[in-house]
Amino acid sequence: MKTSTLLLALFALPLSVFAADITGSWKSEFDSQIGLQKYTFTFKQDGANLTGKANSEAGDRKREAELKDGKVEGDVVSFVEMMNFQENEIRITYTGKLSADANEIKFTREVGEIAKEEIVAKREQTAFAASSPAAKALRIKAGKDSPLTDSSGKVWLAEQGFEGGATVEHDPAVAITGTKTPELFQSEHYSMDAFSCKIPNGSYVAKLYFAETYDGITGPGERVFSFNVQGHEFKDFDVWVKAGGPNRAYIETVPVEVTNQVFRIGFTSKVENPQINAIEIFPQSGVDISAAVPTQAATAVAATEPVAATPVVAEPAPTGPAATPVLQIDAGKVTGQVSPGFFGLMTEEINFSYEGGLYGELIRNRSFKADAIVPSVQADTYEAGKYLPVSYRPDTKPRFWTAVGGALLVLDASNPLNEFLNVSLRLEAASATAAAPAGIANGGYWGIPIKPKTTYTVSFFAKAAAGFTGPVTVSIESADGKTCFASVAIKGLTTEWRRFEAKLKTRNVPASKDNVFKLTTQTPGTLWLQNVSLFPPTYKNRPNGNRADIMELLAAMKPKFLRLPGGNYVEGNAFNQRFNWKETIGPVEQRPGHPSCWGYWSTDGMGLLEYAEWCEDLEMEPVLAVFAGYCLGGGGHVEAGPKLEPYVQEALEEIEYLTGDARTTRWGARRAHDGHPKPFPLHYIEVGNEDWFDRSGSHEGRFTQFFDAIKAKYPHLKVISSVGHEQRESIWVKSRLPDLVDEHFYRNQQDMEANFHQYDHRSRAADQSKVFVGEWATRVGSPTPNMAGALGDAAWMCGLERNADVVLMECFAPLFVNVSQLTGNGRSMQWESDLIGYDALNSYGSPSYHVETMFAQNCGADILPIQAEGIPVIEQTPPAGRRGGAPAPRRVSALYYSATRDAKSGVIFLKVVNVEGKAQQINIQLNGATRIDPKGQAVVLSANSPSDTNAINDRDKLVPHTETVNGLSASFTREFPPYSFTILKLRTK
């Protein structure tokens, strides 16, 4: 026998053995030598073994006999009935064949050597079996919201019992081979954490149906996952490999024992999400489970969830749909400690985050470099560290500046301020008088904001052609020129470059933003200007600092870290366009600036030191992403080895700049010279950003080189790989163990909620990397997320918080958006669904911002287990995703939850998210708490509609409120409003 045939035979045996179960009652009537005989066979099948009884009647004679030597081998059934006849034991042998629908057995019945007849035994029909030809099995069709009768007549229940994940239907035109029932493979559930259902204890055979139908999977190894069926582990399961290619059916058959009345399959993603098309469970006893999980009951089972980081415990029996859901907190047990790195911030120069955002500068294009011609320099011609000046087209009028009076403006590369700001604005005022001044105006970032009784600092570099004596006047005026809010005349211009500074103070005027900054002369002449700057008062009065209102929003978030300086911004579109930290330090007029990869010029006024001072002001730590020799898209990369070494050194120096001693290290001394002698705390370094985009295969080597160098010089630093384990395993870092891996998720609300359990099964083993969810967002709502987004965020964050012992850090992204011009050329938004929105004057937190803030302000270090029961399930139709088509509606939990406790104060923070549009009563049970204060607090964010939101003109529509809660005890019931996120603060000391 050829090996392949042998293997086939070996596999074929258990498959056919378990193909049907004849356990139950069978009837047969037949004519014989002694007249009509009526038989009832009661079969009990246990695998291939068959036992049971034969009860028979012939005339008025009744007999009962035990069956002997019973066997079921595939569809062949055989046994012996012993009969005592005239003191002799006679063997009646039955050898039969089971029909295809498993309801009929045709036997050859031999009574010793006396008689031989052909008889038919028929399965006794139960109510269910009568309507379903192959009775007793439970059949679930994944991805279908209504029952399906397959082409062989079997009825499959609509999908139910899944935890997490999503469903998808495939194009029915794509043929599925290797099956007679292709319709079973045309929809699936994917990305789930588990499937479970309630069935009686006993022996079962489960058949799991798989097919790889996603066109994004193009070969073996691209979808690998593990699953565990009642203790039977299927590790690194590859549907493609199992089925022998795409669109091919594969059925895995597993004999299992159920001992706690729950049948459960746990799924773990390895490379890509798990998927399954159908599940069939055959009882090996007489029990009928075909209707054991009616939709509603299954719903409750599906939502009975084990808690993060705790072993799955036997679940309490589910209550019916009408029963009050229960959240049972075990205060006597701590399943983990919330990492001190929860929660953080992440942003970059995107959406006018700094320029026109957090960075205080009000003048747009202050250095006149927005028109610079910047080539894209590739790695092989780029000399790391070498400054490359940019050039300008002749006769260019600088962007964002306009002429006042009859002035002429032009970029002048032959009168630069210095080699970095290697251009200036030449202002020619051929005629200028007091009544008709000439000069320049700047409208800022969609307006120059003014507030009452506020002092603004103007500064600029200027020189004049011989003969010009000035003065020049700087002012803030309304855009229509009718109101001057503040102005000051500045004297002293000469033919040499000089820096000027003045204060502009407003009176008690109303706040406004449709204003302009002007610099004018009342006498004719020619001037050159550079670094024309206007600053409002900044947060904590830092020179070159940040906008106070936005910093205050951030301060309320109590962030623990800032991931900086990107995102894509760290990489840039080319080697000379990356965030080159050494060109972002020192006096601002010596920073050349560079084009942001998000399409506009960055002055780098927000440089490395400003980032660190931003951290200092909010008492958070930098998480420093270093440039790792890889640029975005066609920007290229440097292979590991000597050519990468200069970038590794740059990174080490960058670390030294932030942390080095001011007296004993070169870059520490430079930091002190730049104004900050005290080193900054730093514990985490990320190597690059999203290096999984690097298809060259260079990532592993580059990471290794950075990792080794950083660990050698700074062994205490934790090194983060920017290739997270949400990516396919083949590209994970293997040569070293990254301390953390950075995983990014931008998803719709449904997917966020469906992934509530994502990290429950993440390995906590010492030889596994921890997780940094360094970018994530529920992308619903624009420019900032609406309540639907906030609910998705809250559900997802509950999942992160429950696993905050392995997910050490998390940060929403992006953080900021300037909402002044959402569309069109030169728009202020490059990326939708950002946490905080603002224009020149005002800023606001989105509902998602409030969710983040509520989490950060209400979190203890102890993670407490919660047992949930009877959680209601709702049907959602997710928007079409990357897999296209019309996604099928799916059932997901309506409630999400997490509990932590501050050990010192004994306060338990119970977070509950109700994503449904109706209020929900929940019975909260608190076990293991010695004392429960009857009075507590609730912080609640809720909305009338998921599309409700905050906006620049309606900034506080949705804000959390705090209320006192009475009657708290070891068991109490509370109503959670529709579309709400609630934090209950329960005092237990």
Site residues (vs ligand AHR, CB under 6 A): 348, 566-568, 689-690, 775, 813-814, 831
568 vs 786, which CB is nearer to ligand AHR? 568
Residue of closest CB approach to ligand AHR? 567
Least distance in angstroms from the C-beta of 349 to ligand AHR: 10
Least distance in angstroms from the C-beta of 852 to ligand AHR: 15
Least distance in angstroms from the C-beta of 880 to ligand AHR: 21
What is the distance between the alpha carbons of residues 909 and 858, in angstroms, rounded to a whole number?
6
With contact defined as beta carbons under 8 Å apart, do 320 and 855 qualify?
no
In what order do the strands lie in the sheet containing 515-521? 401-404, 438-442, 515-521, 472-478, 484-490
610 vs 690, which CB is nearer to ligand AHR? 690
CA nearest to 240, candidates 272, 286, 206: 272
621 vs 691, which CB is nearer to ligand AHR? 691
Tokens of 41: 């066979």
623 vs 864, which CB is nearer to ligand AHR? 623
Q: What burial class does residue 962 get, using C-beta atoms within 10 Å of its C-beta: 0-12 exposed, 13-18 middle, 19+ buried? A: exposed
Tokens of 290: 């075909």
222 vs 690, which CB is nearer to ligand AHR? 690
305 vs 742, which CB is nearer to ligand AHR? 742
347 vs 544, which CB is nearer to ligand AHR? 347
| φ, ψ for residue 17, nearest 5 deg | -55, -40
Least distance in angstroms from the C-beta of 597 to ligand AHR: 8
With contact defined as beta carbons under 8 Å apart, do 165 and 190 qualify?
yes
What is the distance between the alpha carbons of residues 796 and 776, in angstroms, rounded to a whole number?
10
21 vs 348, which CB is nearer to ligand AHR? 348
Question: Residues 820, 563, 165, CA angle at the centre, nearest 5°?
Answer: 85
Least distance in angstroms from the C-beta of 807 to ligand AHR: 18
In what order do the strands lie in the sheet containing 262-271? 162-163, 194-198, 262-271, 224-229, 232-238
284 vs 353, which CB is nearer to ligand AHR? 353
Cα 762 off chain centre by: 14
Least distance in angstroms from the C-beta of 550 to ligand AHR: 18
Least distance in angstroms from the C-beta of 831 to ligand AHR: 5
What is the distance between the alpha carbons of residues 658 and 655, in angstroms, rounded to a whole number?
5
* Residues contacting residue 191 through CB under 8 Å, at least 6 positions apart: 164, 165, 166, 269, 273, 274, 275, 751, 754, 755
What is the distance between the alpha carbons of residues 843 and 148, in angstroms, rounded to a whole number?
53
Strands 278-283 and 836-838: unpaired
Q: Which amino acid appears at position 953 of this protein?
A: N
792 vs 814, which CB is nearer to ligand AHR? 814
Question: Residues 926, 930, 936, CA angle at the centre, nearest 5°?
Answer: 60
Secondary structure (H, E, C), 537-602: CEHHHCCCCEEHHHHHHHHHCCCCEEEECCCHHHHCCCHHHCCCHHHHCCCHHHCCCEECCCCCEE
Least distance in angstroms from the C-beta of 836 to ligand AHR: 14
Least distance in angstroms from the C-beta of 585 to ligand AHR: 22
Least distance in angstroms from the C-beta of 569 to ligand AHR: 6
Tokens of 479: 């855009």
Peptide bond into 543 cis (omega under 30): no
Helix (H) or strand (E) holding 752: helix 749-754
DSSP output for 778-820: E--SSSS--HHHHHHHHHHHHHHHHTTTTEEEEB-S--EEE-S
CA nearest to 573, candidates 724, 685, 731, 693: 693
Least distance in angstroms from the C-beta of 603 to ligand AHR: 19
Least distance in angstroms from the C-beta of 291 to ligand AHR: 48
- Show contacts of 112-118: CB within 8 Å, 24+ apart: 114/33, 114/90, 115/32, 115/33, 117/30, 117/32
208 vs 811, which CB is nearer to ligand AHR? 811
188 vs 810, which CB is nearer to ligand AHR? 810
Tokens of 477: 């005026």
831 vs 979, which CB is nearer to ligand AHR? 831
Question: Residues 887, 891, 893, CA angle at the centre, nearest 5°?
Answer: 130
Least distance in angstroms from the C-beta of 723 to ligand AHR: 12
Cβ-based neighbour number of residue 931 at 10 Å = 8
Least distance in angstroms from the C-beta of 985 to ligand AHR: 33
Least distance in angstroms from the C-beta of 600 to ligand AHR: 14
Least distance in angstroms from the C-beta of 673 to ligand AHR: 32
571 vs 801, which CB is nearer to ligand AHR? 571
674 vs 832, which CB is nearer to ligand AHR? 832
* Residues contacting residue 816 through CB under 8 Å, at least 6 positions apart: 347, 350, 351, 352, 353, 357, 358, 550, 834, 835, 836, 837, 838
Beta-ladder partners of 264: 196
Least distance in angstroms from the C-beta of 814 to ligand AHR: 5
* Residues contacting residue 884 through CB under 8 Å, at least 6 positions apart: none
109 vs 637, which CB is nearer to ligand AHR? 637
Cβ-based neighbour number of residue 64 at 10 Å = 11
286 vs 629, which CB is nearer to ligand AHR? 629
Q: Would you call 394 helix, strand, or coil by DSSP?
A: coil
Helix (H) or strand (E) holding 707: helix 699-713
What is the distance between the alpha carbons of residues 573 and 592, in angstroms, rounded to a whole number?
17
583 vs 775, which CB is nearer to ligand AHR? 775
Least distance in angstroms from the C-beta of 348 to ligand AHR: 6
